[in-house]
């Protein structure tokens, strides 16, 4: 099955290459080339099989939303010359991810179900059930781990530990809420609810910039709005567009990223179904038909496009 699991490109001007869970990042003097591979991760573990077209979905959704939110905050993106490639400014990243949640689901629900009523220093009301909306969206930051698991962290800890200066952190919170509101309104127009998401920021020439991806199925969770109320009243699972279904499949097969647990086998059928779900999300979120990129000679096209645009 065609898919990009890794990249090993060589460039004359290359300073350093960083391999993330999903993206391969090539760092140059003042620019960065980011390749969205088809790798998939869950519970901070890269799964053994790559998912065809996943990287294309992530890159194209992110590029669209980065263009749509430039009026809120500057961002790193300069161009997206290939379906899996974005090129832009090399920013100095903040060491935290800004997670914002409009609904009690996913990690927040698992913590709540375990009896916790405080998440990242933010109180969660009593009497909520899974997938209920919070009275207002809550910001629950996490550290950015080079390896292993990201960790929950509070605003107070971020500031007291000197991870981000207080004035800058408050600006990150402001941008996070404004971006989430913009994403919420866009999703509403597409018949979706933006449930939760994360944003990453960095500094470029002294100014805060939005970096990495935005409102993609890897960084965000969406519910279908037309069935939300009825399903909540029935205490039924929500129809959602995200990779939560991958996490649930792993959980059902005894894997949550803990020591000693073995990743279950990913069959061709499962891989294809995950690919179809990513394509469904692309079309539902963007309102555009998904055009599958040809995998033949794809790495050469990617290399040529980066070489051409790096100054």
Over residues 4-31, the mean pLDDT reads: 94
Q: What percent of the chain has pLDDT over 90?
A: 88
The reported pLDDT for the residue numbered 44 is 84
* Per-residue pLDDT at 75 exceeds 80: yes
Q: What is the largest CA-CA distance in the chain?
A: 59
Question: CA distances (Å), 58 to each of 41, 51, 55, 235, in order?
Answer: 13, 12, 5, 31
**Closest among 256, 241, 249, 242 to 270, alpha carbons compared:** 249
Specify the DSSP element, H or E, that contains 136. Answer: strand 133-139
144 pLDDT tier (thresholds 50, 70, 90): confident
At residue 146 the predicted structure's pLDDT band, cuts being 50, 70 and 90, is low
Mean pLDDT of 15-42: 95
Tell me what the mean pLDDT of segment 136-151 comes to: 82
| pLDDT tens column, 260-272 | 999 999 999 999 9
Sorted by where each begins, the domain ranges of the chain are 16-92+267-309, 93-241
- What residue ranges in 153-250 does DSSP mark as E strands? 192-204, 207-211, 220-224, 240-241
pTM: 0.90
Q: Are 104 and 196 in contact (CB under 8 A)?
A: no
* pLDDT tens-place string over residues 101-137: 999 999 999 999 999 999 999 999 999 999 999 999 9
d(CA 82, CA 303): 10
Short-list 93, 75, 204, CA closest to 143: 93
164, 204 contact by CB (below 8 A): no
CB-based contacts of 38: which residues, under 8 Å, 6+ apart?
3, 4, 5, 50, 51, 52, 53, 54, 55
Instruction: Tell me the pLDDT band of 281, cut-offs 50, 70 and 90.
Output: confident
pLDDT in tens, 184-241: 999 999 999 999 999 999 999 999 999 999 999 889 999 999 999 999 999 999 998 8
Fold of the 16-92+267-309 domain: Phosphorylase Kinase; domain 1 (3.30.200)
pLDDT at 148 over 60: no
Is the domain spanning 93-241 CATH 3.30.470.20? The answer is: yes
Give the mean pLDDT of 172-183: 98
């Amino acid at each position: 099955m065609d898919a990009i699991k890794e990249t090993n490109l060589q460039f004359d001007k290359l300073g350093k290459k960083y391999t993330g869970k999903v993206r391969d990042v090539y760092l140059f003097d003042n620019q960065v080339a980011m390749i969205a591979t088809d790798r998939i991760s869950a519970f901070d573990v890269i799964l053994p099989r790559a998912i065809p077209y996943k990287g294309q979905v992530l890159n194209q959704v992110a590029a669209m939303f980065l263009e749509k939110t430039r009026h809120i905050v500057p961002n790193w993106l300069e161009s997206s010359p290939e379906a899996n490639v974005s090129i832009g400014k090399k920013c100095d990243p903040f060491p935290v991810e800004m997670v914002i949640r409009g609904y009690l689901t996913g990690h927040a629900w698992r913590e709540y179900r375990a009896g916790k009523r405080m998440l990242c220093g933010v109180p969660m009301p009593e009497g909520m059930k899974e997938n209920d909306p919070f009275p207002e969206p809550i910001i629950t930051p996490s550290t950015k781990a080079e390896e292993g698991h990201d960790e929950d962290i509070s605003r107070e800890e971020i500031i007291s530990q000197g991870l981000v200066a207080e004035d800058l952190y408050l600006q990150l919170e402001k941008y996070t809420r404004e971006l989430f509101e913009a994403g919420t309104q866009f999703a509403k127009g597409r018949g979706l609810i933006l449930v939760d998401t994360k944003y990453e920021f960095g500094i470029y020439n002294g100014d805060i910039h939005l970096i990495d991806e935005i409102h993609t199925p890897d960084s965000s969770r969406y519910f279908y709005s037309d069935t939300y109320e009825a399903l909540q009243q029935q205490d039924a699972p929500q129809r959602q567009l995200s990779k939560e279904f991958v996490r649930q499949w792993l959980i059902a097969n005894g894997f949550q990223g803990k020591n000693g647990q073995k990743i279950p086998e990913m069959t061709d059928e499962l891989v294809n179904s995950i690919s179809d779900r990513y394509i469904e999300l692309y079309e539902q979120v963007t309102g555009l038909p998904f055009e599958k990129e040809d995998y033949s000679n794809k790495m050469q096209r990617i290399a040529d496009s980066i070489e051409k645009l790096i100054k």
